[in-house]
Structure 1
Amino acid sequence: MSHTRIKFCGMTRAEDVRLAVELGVDFIGLILAERSPRRLLPGQARALRALVPEEIGVVALVMDNPRGEVADIVAGLHPDYLQFHGGEDDAFCAGFGLPFFKAIAMGDGGDPLEAMANFPSAHGFVLDGHGAGEQGGSGRSFDWTRLPKDSGRPVLLAGGLSPDNVALAIRTAHPWGVDVSSGIEATPGVKDAAKMRRFADAVRAADAAV
């Protein structure tokens, strides 16, 4: 059976993090980007991070945060990964001593492989449906067949995923992982427990059917 990694992103509540842990997701995303409606203050992020066991990766998301601020996040939060959503270049992203994911905006119709080639240091990529310079978590999808088939590095499919379409997304694109935020929410930052369970179940059912 294949294993599609699951990332629940934009977590803001302890009860949602606890359920994500119970469901055995692979990554939990905590957002520290200033413009995000799911933004956490450093103390809030540390409290949620403390609930995550070491077998689940904690990803700290930033977007054009100043270098000193990112360094403070690394020192105070101790995330396992960083994820960059802004105009950061490869040298900036690689400068904090952690593996990182770079978000690639797919809403503008560009070639993702060209964009990915600009980040030789990246551990992996998050291909999202938003346009360049926009926030992730918009719930906008893109043509899943545009996902590179062999990028040589992990690729998380994001943008418009939900419990109802994630199995089709996996069958279509065969991503290394899937990344969901708004598709498992009641309101921005407030996750819906039933949707979280259905999403995880749908991913595992799709894997089992391969």
Structure 2
Amino acid sequence: MTSPLLIKICGLRTSEDAMAAVDNGAQLGGLVFAQASPRRVNLREAHKVRDILFGNAEVVGLFADNAFEEIAATHNAVGLDRIQLHGGEDDAFAERIEKEIGLPVLRAIPVATAAEAEAADRRHASAFLFDAKPPEGSAQKGGHGVAFDWDALAGYKGERKFLLAGGLTPENVAEAIRAARQHSGFVGVDVSSGVERGKGVKDAGLIKAFIEAAKEA
């Protein structure tokens, strides 16, 4: 039996965002704690989102080059289910997260070529998130609304599961799924800017459309 496609809505900032995600069947919700992101939430906002996600979707905390102590304190304050590392963290850092905080690590890997996808399997993580590379000089690591060439996924030969991100929208997610599901490791999709009506402002209608399109694919 084929496992259901995992759908992650990232950059949730309000209770309304979270309700739109869970009401339409998203299994993962992302809270951004990366310093440079316009989608960054404070602890008060994070608690409101988590209250909606709890029992309905996995709560993923996204960090990018945050200090280990900050990640641990955020988990203790909010109660995360998974840590997403989206910066330049090394393997020792990812391993420390899993050993000392006790949460699985979803490792974002910027990809432009098949060789970069192939190299991912040498990184430490419980699962990967293949994403587009940020524009040159950008401090923000993700959420730019830019897709990469999905043919590059053919380079990945690993057995660890991965989600596909980077420029996904309700209009192109079905095509992305068809390209990615040729690999046995593909388990889901991740979207942030593709379901926004403005930078960092989610649109419930776009969230619904994205999830419906992903499920139909």
Range with greater deviation from structure 2 (12-21 or 91-100): 91-100
Q: How many residues align?
A: 204
Residue-by-residue CA offset, 1:124-182 (whole Å, 9 max, x unaligned):
01111124975111111111121256521111100010000000111111131100000
1:154-165 alignment runs, 5 A limit: 154-165=161-172
Match of 1:11 in 2: 12
Match of 2:175 in 1: 168
Match of 2:121 in 1: 116
- Determine if contact 1:33/1:62 at 8 Å carries over to the other structure: yes
Deviation of the 1:107 alpha carbon: 4.1
RMSD between superposed Cα atoms in Å: 1.8
Match of 2:149 in 1: 143
- Determine if contact 2:168/2:191 at 8 Å carries over to the other structure: yes
AA partner of residue 23 (structure 1): N
**% identical equivalent positions:** 41
1:100 and 2:100 are equivalent in the alignment:
no
What secondary structure, in the 3-state scheme, does the structure 1 residue paired with 2:12 have? coil
Q: Which runs of 5+ in 2 are unaligned?
A: none
- Determine if contact 1:29/1:60 at 8 Å carries over to the other structure: yes
What secondary structure, in the 3-state scheme, does the structure 2 residue paired with 1:72 have? helix
Range with greater deviation from structure 2 (1-10 or 196-205): 1-10
Deviation of the 1:10 alpha carbon: 0.5
Structure-1-length-normalised TM-score: 0.90
Structure-2-length-normalised TM-score: 0.88
Tell me the distance in 2 between the aligned counterparts of 1:168 and 1:118. 27
Range with greater deviation from structure 2 (191-200 or 162-171): 191-200
Residue-by-residue CA offset, 1:47-73 (whole Å, 9 max, x unaligned):
211111324111000001011101101
- Determine if contact 1:13/1:190 at 8 Å carries over to the other structure: no
AA partner of residue 24 (structure 1): G
Q: Which runs of 5+ in 1 are unaligned?
A: none
